[in-house]
């Protein structure tokens, strides 16, 4: 077995109803916090937010609410949150919502305690230090794995660029994963965020930097997504399916924290950066068939293994044949969850590709892909992701 590193210091409170323990968990860390909450939750799940705020108050934690959170978080929003955190002298940041709210909370934890802005601490720039405020996550979707990852993804709208911080100091001190908070997520968001779980685990699994520890976690999570995502899309109130996805997502965060994504995230993130209406999950779904066609020959055994998880009838096929059918299997799965899409569907044309391609080649994720793409390869992957291709 090759040697590897594994680090996961997050205290996890997992299970239905665990949101009631927020106050007690936070009180062990801080007596005043910035409570970063997705504004959509204040409309559609106000009672759930109130429960968490009551739990904080009952435990003697003073909270300052910040709900200026946007989908695909922006640097501007993060800097406003950081200013409020500094002004109020908070000692921790609690994020409640999907990836946008929690990633905003993480970036605020850095921006409030370091010179410059959050953009100065992207993974290839300066490193956030241990001065970063402690972070507590209460996740309300299953998708980004951010509750157990060391990533915060956000966009600098002035540069039309979406990028990320990636550092151990961004690992949450506590993650509260309560599947009851997820039953009201609408089908399209369930499909989009649920497919993101698959991508985090699959890309960590095929990554050339993968490890034994992450392989087994990734396969466990992939099985859960395949069996439970179609169920949760069809019936959001199915708590067993929501629990399965919530655990898969939490495992996926560990995959991200210890290995990481490959080509699809490098190709997908600039699509959302330039076309913010394209959700992260959609940007991955649109690329996946062409990425799989480009890559499977570089990791035949692993593509074959996952193709057989999608379609057990492939058990009798050779590894080569099973791996070759992966692009078709992923297409069938995307259609099953209603997420199959082409770049044309978002109003994107081949003329829009130049800046997207430039940003895609700047992301390092593709270096861990079993087949490392040249710029021409990447352009072809985009071109094959149009309907006419």
Which residue ranges make up the site for Fe ion (CB under 5 A)?
Answer: 196
Closest approach of Fe ion to the CB of residue 19, in Å: 24
Nearer Cβ to Fe ion (260/370): 260
The total of other beta-carbon atoms located within 10 Å of residue 45's CB is 20
Collect contacts of 240-245 with beta carbons under 8 A, ≥24 apart: 242/142, 242/179, 242/180, 242/182, 242/183, 243/15, 243/16, 243/179, 245/142, 245/179, 245/182, 245/190, 245/194, 245/197
Q: Round to the nearest angstrom and report the end-to-end CA distance of the chain.
A: 42
Nearer Cβ to Fe ion (132/204): 204
Closest approach of Fe ion to the CB of residue 300, in Å: 25
Q: Which residue has the tokens 């994504």?
A: 261
Nearer Cβ to Fe ion (53/196): 196
**135: helix, coil or strand?**
strand
322 contacts 307 by C-beta, under 8 angstroms: yes
Closest approach of Fe ion to the CB of residue 53, in Å: 29
Closest approach of Fe ion to the CB of residue 144, in Å: 6
Q: Which residue is nearest to Fe ion (CB)?
A: 196
Closest approach of Fe ion to the CB of residue 268, in Å: 8
The total of other beta-carbon atoms located within 10 Å of residue 191's CB is 25
Closest approach of Fe ion to the CB of residue 152, in Å: 12
Closest approach of Fe ion to the CB of residue 161, in Å: 17
Question: What's phi and psi for 295, nearest 5 deg?
Answer: -105, -25
Nearer Cβ to Fe ion (169/193): 193
Contacts of 47 (CB under 8 A, 6+ apart): none
H-only helix segments in the chain: 22-27, 39-44, 46-58, 75-88, 99-111, 187-206, 212-234, 239-258, 263-274, 280-295, 300-310, 319-324, 326-336, 353-362, 375-383
């Amino acid at each position: 077995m090759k040697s590897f590193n594994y680090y996961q210091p997050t205290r996890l409170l997992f299970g239905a109803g665990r949101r009631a323990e927020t106050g007690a968990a936070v009180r062990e860390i801080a007596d005043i916090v910035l409570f970063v909450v997705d504004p959509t939750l204040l409309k559609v799940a106000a009672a759930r937010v109130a429960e968490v705020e009551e739990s904080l108050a009952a435990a003697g934690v003073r909270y300052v609410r910040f709900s200026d959170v946007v989908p695909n978080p922006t640097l501007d929003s993060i800097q406003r949150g950081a200013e409020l955190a500094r002004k109020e002298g908070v000692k921790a940041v609690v994020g409640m919502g999907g990836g946008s709210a929690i990633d905003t909370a993480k970036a605020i934890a850095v921006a409030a305690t370091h010179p410059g802005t959050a953009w100065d601490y992207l993974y290839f720039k300066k490193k956030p230090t241990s001065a970063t405020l402690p972070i507590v996550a209460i996740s309300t979707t299953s998708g980004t794995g951010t509750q157990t990852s060391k990533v915060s993804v956000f966009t600098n709208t002035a540069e039309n660029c979406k990028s990320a911080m990636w550092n151990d100091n961004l690992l949450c001190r506590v993650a509260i994963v309560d599947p009851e908070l997820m039953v009201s997520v609408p089908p399209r968001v369930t499909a989009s965020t649920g497919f993101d779980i698959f991508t985090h685990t699959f890309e960590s699994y095929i990554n050339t930097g993968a490890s034994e520890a992450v392989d087994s976690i990734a396969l466990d999570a992939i099985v859960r997504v395949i069996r439970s995502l179609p169920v949760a899309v069809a019936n959001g109130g199915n708590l067993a399916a929501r629990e399965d996805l919530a655990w898969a997502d939490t495992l996926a965060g560990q995959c991200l924290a210890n290995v990481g994504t490959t080509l699809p995230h490098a190709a997908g993130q600039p699509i959302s950066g330039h076309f913010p209406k394209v959700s992260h999950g959609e940007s991955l779904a649109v690329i996946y068939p062409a990425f799989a066609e480009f890559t499977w020959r570089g990791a035949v055994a692993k593509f074959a293994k996952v193709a057989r998880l999608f379609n057990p009838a492939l058990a009798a096929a050779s590894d080569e044949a099973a791996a070759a059918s992966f692009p078709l299997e992923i297409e069938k799965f995307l259609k099953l969850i209603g997420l199959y899409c082409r770049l044309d569907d978002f109003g994107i044309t081949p003329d829009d590709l130049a800046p997207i391609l430039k940003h895609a080649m700047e992301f390092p994720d593709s270096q861990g892909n079993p087949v490392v793409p040249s710029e021409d390869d990447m352009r072809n992957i985009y071109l094959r992701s149009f309907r006419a291709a």
